[in-house]
Amino acid sequence: MQRTRTRLKDIAVATGYSANTVSLALRGSLRIPEETRDRIQSAAQSLNYFPNTIAQALVSRETRTIGLVLTDIMNPTLTLVSRFLERELAQRGYSLMLAASDHDSAKE
């Protein structure tokens, strides 16, 4: 059986707020009282809500994705550096996309 994603509308129904209020609260808008934000965020967590990053990227016109080309993906030093970069970028709301050039300047 296919599992459906929790939508803003589902959280709105569960909390009694509008989908717009839910959206603002999940984005941490100061227009929404802190108590309301906390209630909505708690409901979102209990409903296993995860933002649709593709939809967000379409609306904002930014993917928050950074590409990194490694000359040799099997090189342990480069692998460690890329893992460090991935963690640091994730803390700042970015994702990392890796590619390997295999020392081919045309691929780079």
Ranges of each domain in the chain: 8-51, 65-100
> Which pLDDT does position 2 carry in this prediction?
56
Distance CA(12)–CA(22), nearest Å, equals: 6
> Which pLDDT does position 28 carry in this prediction?
92
> Which pLDDT does position 3 carry in this prediction?
62
Whole-number average pLDDT of the chain: 92
Whether 73 and 79 have beta carbons less than 8 Å apart is answered as: yes
- pLDDT over threshold 60, residue 1: no
- pLDDT over threshold 60, residue 97: yes
pTM: 0.60
- pLDDT over threshold 80, residue 11: yes
- pLDDT over threshold 80, residue 40: yes
Mean pLDDT value across residues 80-102: 94
Mean pLDDT value across residues 28-42: 96
DSSP, res 6: P
> Which pLDDT does position 60 carry in this prediction?
85
